[in-house]
Amino acid sequence: MTDSRIMRTLAGVVTVVVLVAGCSGTTASPTPTTASTGPFTIGYSNASSVGNGFREEQVCTAKSEATALGASKIVSPINIIHRDTDAAGQLSDLRTLISQHVNALVFNPNDPDALNPALAEAHAAGIVTVAVDSYVTDPNTWNLYNNQVKYAYLGAQWLFKQMGNKGTVWYTRGAAGNSADSDRDIGFNQALKEANAAGGTIVVQNQGGTFTGWDPATATSITNDELSSGKYDQIQGIWASGMGAQIVDAIKAAGKPFVPIADADIGQFVNDLLNPTGYPNLVGAAVTNTASVGGAGVKLAYELLTKQTVTASAGAGRPNTILLDPQILDNTTADGKTALQAWVSVPNMDPLWPLSLSIPTWTDYVPNTVPASCSGAGANPTLAPTN
């Protein structure tokens, strides 16, 4: 990414956060504003992994960004449908938001293709559409998400080096069919191919990976299965997909020695990496996967509504796509530990949230305002009932 406006790196957390089970708004929307000055009404859809720290934080950052932009720009609170459903359910949710006469839809898509009919209806109504965290194939929708190919590649490359480019790796994944998971699979296999082409002898124990659905209980269950079957004793490394804390806790509970593990910048996992007493000899790396894409999506929607120039990332491979670059830190050096500690230096940080709470120039809120936007579980009921 050569454009200076697009090369926006992730920022470390500088605030206290609180996890809630569902943070969503129900304020009725006015007729869409026709001028390009606002205030605008934003509809937000998250249709998966309710209760997952990443998804909860993502919705909260969207609300925080709407508030930070100000009442003259964005009508706040934004209209949010935050529930667990399938692609057909999210298609319905988008149509519900369209019927509320929003000016823009910001959404975390369950499927890259299935939502296109509702997106076409939105465009026909003059509604701006922005997909965050994952992408859609609709040519008129802007996609803004963490570079998931690079995220997986960085973690896998580090892991294979820790393994000496030989041995067996246990490959865990997210949600089957999710575009972010599919991109991560590309990055993981790219690193694997390069390592073995350079003389490595790395074998994937479970070809194609084992899916966790990004659900902590499922991650714990599949790790227990790995342990009880004896397969864990045959591996030399683990590539996780945001569920590293659950995996290492299950290994610890079984009394087994740790193997190197690469995961995301989830608070609990990073704290484990910095706890040599509780997690002796745990070697790991955390790759940033900021949930602030929620807030960034609201900012992008506002820029599109006000006809500002938005430049796609070079080499994204998809039209109308903005990629955010991940960073990787590990606990193998003093410098790495110091940098990791800076991520978790805030007291009372909820352990299930990612540690990157803002993105310079893509988010306008002060990070410590994020918990206030989601104060209290169920404080703002969803527009549609959760499954």
**Residue given tokens 């806790």 in the structure block:** 249
Average pLDDT rounded to a whole number, residues 7-19: 32
Give me the pLDDT at residue 107, please: 98
Summarised one tens digit per residue, pLDDT across range 95-113 is 999 999 999 999 999 999 9
Q: Structurally, what CATH architecture does the domain formed by 148-287 represent?
A: 3-Layer(aba) Sandwich (3.40)
pLDDT band for position 268 (cuts 50, 70, 90):
very high
DSSP 8-state assignment for residue 71: T
**What does the alpha-carbon distance between residue 349 and residue 98 come to, in Å, rounded to a whole number?**
36
Three-state DSSP state, 132: strand
Whether the per-residue pLDDT at 132 is higher than 70: the answer is yes
Q: Is the pLDDT of residue 289 over 70?
A: yes
Q: Output the six-digit token pair for 233.
A: 């004793």
Given a cut of 90, is residue 160 above it in pLDDT? yes
Residue 375 banded pLDDT, cuts 50, 70, 90: low
* pLDDT of 26 strictly over 80: no
pLDDT over threshold 50, residue 34: no
The answer to whether residues 301 and 362 touch, using CB atoms and an 8 Å cutoff, is no
Name which of 15-29, 175-189, 226-240 the model is least confident about.
15-29
If one compares 2 and 62, the residue with the highest pLDDT of the two is: 62
Asked whether residue 36 carries a pLDDT value surpassing 90, the answer given is no
User: Which of 176, 183, 116 has its CA nearest to residue 317?
Assistant: 183
Q: Enter the DSSP assignment of 256.
A: P
Cα–Cα distance, 6 to 323 (Å, whole number):
8
Burial of 257 (0-12, 13-18, 19+ CB in 10 A): exposed
Choose the weakest-confidence range: 27-31, 40-44, 199-203, 249-253. 27-31
pLDDT at 103: 97
CA torsion sign for 63, 366, 346, 155 is positive
Dist CA 113 CA 94 (whole Å): 14
Residue-wise pLDDT tens digits, 325-356: 999 999 999 999 999 998 875 555 578 888 88
Is 12 a residue whose pLDDT tops 80? no
Instruction: Tell me the pTM.
Output: 0.77
Q: What single-letter amino acid sits at 196?
A: N
Which of the residue ranges 159-168, 174-183, 274-283, 300-309 would you say has the lowest mean pLDDT? 174-183
Q: Look at residue 85 and tell me whether its pLDDT is greater than 60.
A: yes
d(CA 199, CA 195): 7
Residue 207: CB partners within 8 Å, gap ≥ 6? none
**What residues does each domain of the chain span?**
148-287
Residue 224 has pLDDT above 80, yes or no: yes
| Residue 51 pLDDT | 82
CB 133 within 8 A of CB 178: no
Q: Is the sign of the CA dihedral 207, 210, 214, 219 positive or negative?
A: negative
